[in-house]
Amino acid sequence: MSREARPHSADGSLAWFSGSAAGRIGAAGILLRADRRMSTLVAVESRLKAITESNRMSWNTIAPRRSGIATDRLRAGEVSLADFERRLAGDVTGRRVVHLACSYGDEVLSWANLGAVATGVDISDVAVAEAKSRAAEAGIEADFRRADMLDPPADLAELDLVYLSWGAICWVPDLIGFATMIAGRLRPGGAVLLCDHHPAWEVLAVRGDDHLAVAGDYFGRDRPNVDQDDAKRPQGARGEPDAPRFSAFVWPVSDVVMALVGAGLRLDAFFEAPEPALYAGLGQTAGALPAYYVIKATKPDPTKPDPTKPDPTKPDPIRPGPTKPELTRPEPI
């Protein structure tokens, strides 16, 4: 190897880098590589943005075909949330709750019925207009914003709860960016509650009794599935051959957990569950598969004790103190 090509001159200086022709070429090479990496990032970002935009147009097309519960039921105080969602969220009275990818708003109106200061965010203009008119019909105070959930309006900050459900995470093209954004919008002690279709369900297509086919890549990540099985298409597109296509991202559950933990959130609840109705036509084995999963992750509050760490004022439940009196060593005879 020539002296010029070495990273450092014998005296440790960077003279080779600034002074020599090879050094100049090396520096240009580094800049060129950085430049290429930047153009690749820009190209990836614009590809993902184009996918989101195409999905937005598809959602606008099918939004009028989608419907929620009757608004007089919401007006009467009905809540369209599962019991476990309510339990995990805790008391939301007076709390700032934001539902990302809220569609026509039933869950936002439900959080409002439970006493929350509720806001829904959705990328579809049609869905947001519908949600606003349903809120007016139901006489429920709630706010709806049209925005990409990766970049919600800046005033949606210091939140107590970010909620996403049933067909939300599959529209997120950048999981780490999304988790980082959520962590940034929560107040310390605030939490994200995600209840969504299991990615295994997303990629498994029922073909008959006890018969499944793999119709997607469980590890697809930012390579979206554009040929979803009809049963996995959104309500409003299912069974409609003329309905527009969607590009749905399949994120392994472990990626979702690690993105949230990596963004600094504490995992408080995580479970996977069956729902035989989601594997309609499969027969007896439908209950033997995961259909959905639920995650609650909290932004740690440095002013409060960490519930995952033992409380020094209470007996440690894992290693309780000695229950027998200390044995004294017999005196040597």
Ligand X SMILES: C[S@@+](CC[C@H](N)C(=O)[O-])C[C@H]1O[C@@H](n2cnc3c(N)ncnc32)[C@H](O)[C@@H]1O
**Which residues of the chain form contacts with ligand X (CB under 6 A)?**
52, 55, 59, 101, 103, 107, 121-124, 127, 148-149, 165-168, 171, 234
Instruction: Return the bridge partners of 213, or none.
Output: 205
Q: Which is nearer to ligand X, 26 or 167 (CB)?
A: 167
Q: Least distance in Å: CB of 107 to ligand X? A: 6
CA distances from 165 to 58, 216, 292 (A): 19, 21, 10
Q: Least distance in Å: CB of 54 to ligand X? A: 10
CA distances from 5 to 11, 20, 31 (A): 15, 10, 17
Q: What's the burial of 191, exposed, middle or buried (CB within 10 Å: 0-12/13-18/19+)? A: buried
Q: Which is nearer to ligand X, 16 or 294 (CB)?
A: 294
Q: Which is nearer to ligand X, 22 or 156 (CB)?
A: 156
Q: Which is nearer to ligand X, 16 or 79 (CB)?
A: 79
DSSP per position, 98-115: EEES-TT-HHHHHHHHTT
Q: Least distance in Å: CB of 274 to ligand X? A: 19
Classify 263 in phi/psi space as left (phi over 0), alpha (psi -120 to 50) or beta. Answer: alpha
Closest CA to 142 of 114, 106, 107, 117: 117
Chain CA centroid to CA 16, Å: 49
Q: Least distance in Å: CB of 318 to ligand X? A: 38
Q: Which is nearer to ligand X, 125 or 268 (CB)?
A: 125
Q: Least distance in Å: CB of 275 to ligand X? A: 14
Q: Least distance in Å: CB of 52 to ligand X? A: 5
Q: Which residues contact 156 (CB under 8 A, 6 or more apart)?
A: 98, 119, 121, 145, 185
Q: Least distance in Å: CB of 122 to ligand X? A: 4
Q: Which is nearer to ligand X, 86 or 266 (CB)?
A: 86
Q: Which is nearer to ligand X, 16 or 202 (CB)?
A: 202
Q: Least distance in Å: CB of 126 to ligand X? A: 8
Q: Which residues contact 40 (CB under 8 A, 6 or more apart)?
A: none
Residue with the two structure tokens 């004022």: 313
> Cβ-closest residue to ligand X?
167
Contact 15, 6 (CB under 8 A): no
In degrees rounded to 5, what are phi and psi of residue 272? Answer: -115, 150
Q: Which is nearer to ligand X, 16 or 56 (CB)?
A: 56
Q: Which is nearer to ligand X, 119 or 165 (CB)?
A: 165
Contact 260, 227 (CB under 8 A): no
Q: Least distance in Å: CB of 230 to ligand X? A: 15
The whole-angstrom separation of Cα 294 and Cα 314 is: 30
